[in-house]
Amino acid sequence: HGAMYGELPYIASKGALHQVTPTLGAQLVGQGITVNCIDPGPTDTGYADPDRHREVAQAAPAGRWGRPDDAARLVAWLVSEEAGWISGQVIASDGAWSARPRWAPPE
């Protein structure tokens, strides 16, 4: 959802997933195969140093990093019969990270 200096391979792979998901979802749904992509936002998997961890938590609308189980619950639902009509979607499950304001006009 923005520039990530020094992360070209990472953002290129994310961009590819964002583009291939709708095409595969539409192409395969007629065969009973659904294809979706989850965009979990910042997820605490232990990679961030304490300063970065604090910085991201403060910037997050939910006031915290995502946890692996946040995405896992969505995956569990997507593979259930209840979600059989959902295909070709990139789903942001990020505690409003992608919707957060990045700029506010001066008061």
Which residues are annotated as catalytic?
10
Residues 6+ apart with CB under 8 A from 36: 21, 25, 78, 86, 87, 88, 89, 90, 91
8 A C-beta contact, residue 38 and residue 77: no
8 A C-beta contact, residue 64 and residue 95: yes
**CA contacts within 13 A on the Cβ side of 57:** 11
60-35-95 Cα angle (round to 5): 10
